[in-house]
């Protein structure tokens, strides 16, 4: 080994020996702080995505012949259901369940319910009026021509398509969800009507 290399190695070791030594506790604190910061960063939940926009303005004809808009329902929560009077099963079952829930709330409860036809060709206001006579009187049935109704179906994300049939004898495939809207006409959630009326009524009362 050369003398110059040996001297260089000795100087390097001397410099290393002269470096200040950090206490073990300080080093541990640094690593702990870094670990805590990492955990805090990775555990942060991303902001919840906004709920899909459901609902919007409309102007349709009620079963009593009057004009109805979304503004007529402001100030109270309300349920919205799309169906048709010639529906063989789901529609009248759903309207019966809504009626039972409204009955459990009592006659004074400020809760609205809207039944929108997906079959305006057959469901005139008079037809809907006769159909709704079997259910709670707080349910408002509405119809209109296609130009007025189709935008409402789009606003509420409703699928509706006429199935093949002979003449006036046909079915309509459609979305059967019941929507809960708040006092300001904003979408809250899909509402489960297929449960005990008292249970569903208690949920609605929280939105009064």
Question: Residue ranges of the domains in the chain?
Answer: 3-43, 59-205
Give the model's confidence band at 47: pLDDT under 50 very low, under 70 low, under 90 confident, else very high: very low
> In terms of Cα–Cα distance, which of 94, 100, 89 is closest to 116?
94
**Helix (H) / strand (E) containing 69:** strand 67-69
Euclidean distance between the first and final Cα of the chain, in Å? 92
CATH classification of 59-205 is 3.40.30.10, yes or no?
yes
The pLDDT, as a whole number, for residue 38 is: 43
Residue 119: closest CA among 78, 165, 73: 165
Residue 94's nearest CA partner among 156, 66, 102 is: 102
Instruction: Decide: helix, strand or coil at residue 65.
Output: coil
Quote the tokens at residue 112.
């609205």
Q: Where do we find the tokens 């039972």?
A: 100
Examine the pLDDT at 128 and tell me if it is beyond 80: yes
Residue 39 has pLDDT above 90, yes or no: no
| 181 conformational bin, left if phi > 0, alpha if psi -120 to 50, beta if neither | beta
- Residue 21's pLDDT is what? 53
- Tell me the pLDDT tens digit for each residue of 138-190: 999 999 999 999 999 999 999 999 998 888 889 999 999 999 999 999 999 99
Whole-angstrom distance, CA of residue 178 vs CA of residue 163: 22
CA atoms in the 13 A half-sphere facing the CB of 11: 6
């Amino acid at each position: 080994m050369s003398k110059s290399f040996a001297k260089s190695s000795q100087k390097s070791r001397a410099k290393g020996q002269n470096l200040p030594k950090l206490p073990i506790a300080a080093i541990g604190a640094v690593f702990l702080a870094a670990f805590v910061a990492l955990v805090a960063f990775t555990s942060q939940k991303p902001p919840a995505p906004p709920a899909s926009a459901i609902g919007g303005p409309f102007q349709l004809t009620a079963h009593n012949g009057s004009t109805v808009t979304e503004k007529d329902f402001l100030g109270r929560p309300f349920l919205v259901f799309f169906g048709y009077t010639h529906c063989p099963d789901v529609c009248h079952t759903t309207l019966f369940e809504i009626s039972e829930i409204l009955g459990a709330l009592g006659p004074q409860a400020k809760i609205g319910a809207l039944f929108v036809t997906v079959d305006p060709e057959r469901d005139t206001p008079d037809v809907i009026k006769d159909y709704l006579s079997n259910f709670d009187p707080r349910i408002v049935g509405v119809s209109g021509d296609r130009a007025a109704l189709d935008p409402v179906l789009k606003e509420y994300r409703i699928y509706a398509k006429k199935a093949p049939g002979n003449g006036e004898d046909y079915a309509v495939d459609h979305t059967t969800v019941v929507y809960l809207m708040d006092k300001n006409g904003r979408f809250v959630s899909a509402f489960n009507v297929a449960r005990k009326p008292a249970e569903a009524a208690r949920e609605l009362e929280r939105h009064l």
